[in-house]
Homo-oligomer: A and B are copies of this chain.
Amino acid sequence: MRRMSETLFPTLTDHDALERGAVLAPRFGADGLLAAIIQHAETGEVLMVGWMNAEALRLTLDTGVTHFWSRKRQEIWKKGETSGQLLPVREARIDCDQDAVVIKTIPGGDGGVCHVAGFRSCFYRVVEDGELREDPASRLP
């Protein structure tokens, strides 16, 4: 997969072009991946973090539906294909050094993203005094 990234996206070596230019030239890590933050387009809630290789990012941008690289299964993962929790791309952003993206979406299906049943967001636990407390507001209605 890593070899493919060269053909799927250009590589920029110029620092200013990378940070201020109009060319999408994502920088994948040593593992060939970048972090993709999934954010609810209306509430702003951070729903999950996934990982994309070049092919997953290309598929996400070309189809308008979020694809990840599953580190566990080592394969392209069209999120929601079985659960119905598809993540249509309302907006995609990339950061200054082009090694992380934010995808704004409104999840399909039951409106959740987490594999832990009943939770809309994977970030359903708040750290309080060193312990974790489940936030009922992170639950699906």
List the interface of chain A (C-beta within 8 A of B).
19-24, 35, 37, 39, 43-46, 48-49, 61, 91-96, 100-102, 114-116, 119, 122-127, 130-135
Tell me the minimal C-beta distance from A76 to chain B in angstroms.
Answer: 19
A133 — which chain B residues lie within 8 A by C-beta?
A: 22
With A114-B96, A116-B96 in contact, do A49 and B24 touch (Cβ < 8 Å)?
no
Copy total for this chain: 2
Checking B19, B91, B124, B132 against A24 with a beta-carbon cut-off of 8 angstroms, the contacting residue is B132
Tell me the minimal C-beta distance from A54 to chain B in angstroms.
Answer: 14
Tell me the minimal C-beta distance from A51 to chain B in angstroms.
Answer: 9
A127 — which chain B residues lie within 8 A by C-beta?
A: 24, 61, 92-94, 101
A119 — which chain B residues lie within 8 A by C-beta?
A: 96
Query: Are the C-beta atoms of B95 and A48 separated by less than 8 Å?
Result: yes
